[in-house]
Amino acid sequence: MPKSADIDAVNEALRARLQVVLEQHSQAEVSRRTGHSLSNVNRYATGTRMPGSFIAALVTELGINPNWLLTGTGEPHTSDISGKTEERAIDLLEIVKAMSAVTQMRLGSLTTRHHLKVLKELNEAFNRYEVLQTRLNEHSRELFAQMMDDLESALDNMDLDRAERLRESALQVSKLCDDFELNYNFFQLQARIEYGKGRAEKAAELMRKQFLFSMMRVGKMQSRDLDNIMRFAVSVASQDRVREGMRAMRSALEQLSDEQRKWPQVPYIQFLLGHYTGLLGDLRGGLAEMQRHFPNVQSQSRRTVCETYLVNAMLYSRLVNVDGAIAFGSTSEAKAKWIIDFCAVMEDVPNLEKAIKYYETPPIEPVKGQGSRAGVARIILKAMAGDSKEALAEWKPIEEGLKRDAITQYHGRVVRCQLHRAAHQWKKAVDDALEADAMRSAMDPEISIGPLFDARHHSSVLKLQAAGKEMPAELVAKASAYFKRMYDGGYIVFHDFANAPA
What pLDDT score does 81 carry? 44
pTM reported for the whole predicted model = 0.67
Is 443 a member of any domain? yes
Measuring CA to CA, how many Å separate 25 from each of 39, 44, 63, 66, 172? 16, 15, 12, 17, 26
Is 230 a member of any domain? no
CA 180 to chain centre: 21
Domain that holds residue 447: 314-498
Distance CA 472, CA 452 (A): 23
The closest alpha carbon to 388, from 428, 332, 336, belongs to: 428
Distance CA 264, CA 255 (A): 16
What pLDDT score does 370 carry? 44
Low-confidence ranges of the chain (pLDDT < 50): 1-3, 79-84, 86, 112, 368-371
Domain count, the chain: 1
Distance CA 277, CA 265 (A): 18
What pLDDT score does 195 carry? 76
What pLDDT score does 123 carry? 67
Task: List beta partners, residue 77.
Answer: 64
Contacts for 169 with CB less than 8 Å, ≥ 6 apart: 73, 147
Task: List beta partners, residue 64.
Answer: 77
What pLDDT score does 35 carry? 87
- Cα angle 196, 199, 205; round to 5: 110
Q: Strand, helix or coil at 356?
A: helix
What pLDDT score does 498 carry? 93
CB 227 within 8 A of CB 185: no
Is 142 a member of any domain? no
Is 45 a member of any domain? no
Distance CA 291, CA 320 (A): 14
CB 370 within 8 A of CB 341: no
DSSP sequence for 474-485: HHHHHHHHHHHH
Q: Hey, what long-range contacts does 178-185 have (CB within 8 A, 24 or more apart)?
A: 178/137, 179/137, 179/141, 179/144, 179/145, 180/213, 180/216, 182/141, 182/144, 182/145, 182/148, 183/213, 184/210, 184/213, 184/214, 185/148
CB 92 within 8 A of CB 71: yes
* Alpha-carbon dihedral 9, 11, 17, 19, rounded to 10 degrees: -120
Distance CA 4, CA 131 (A): 20
Is 432 a member of any domain? yes
- Cα angle 422, 428, 429; round to 5: 45
Is 118 a member of any domain? no
Is 461 a member of any domain? yes
Is 168 a member of any domain? no
CATH of the domain at 418: 1.25.40
Q: b/e per residue, 335-355, with b = 16+ CB within 10 A?
A: bbbbbbbbbbbbbbeebbbbb
What letter does residue 364 receive in the DSSP assignment? P
- Cα angle 386, 387, 389; round to 5: 125
Distance CA 70, CA 105 (A): 22
Indicate the residue type of 60: T
- Biggest CA–CA distance in the chain, Å, is 94
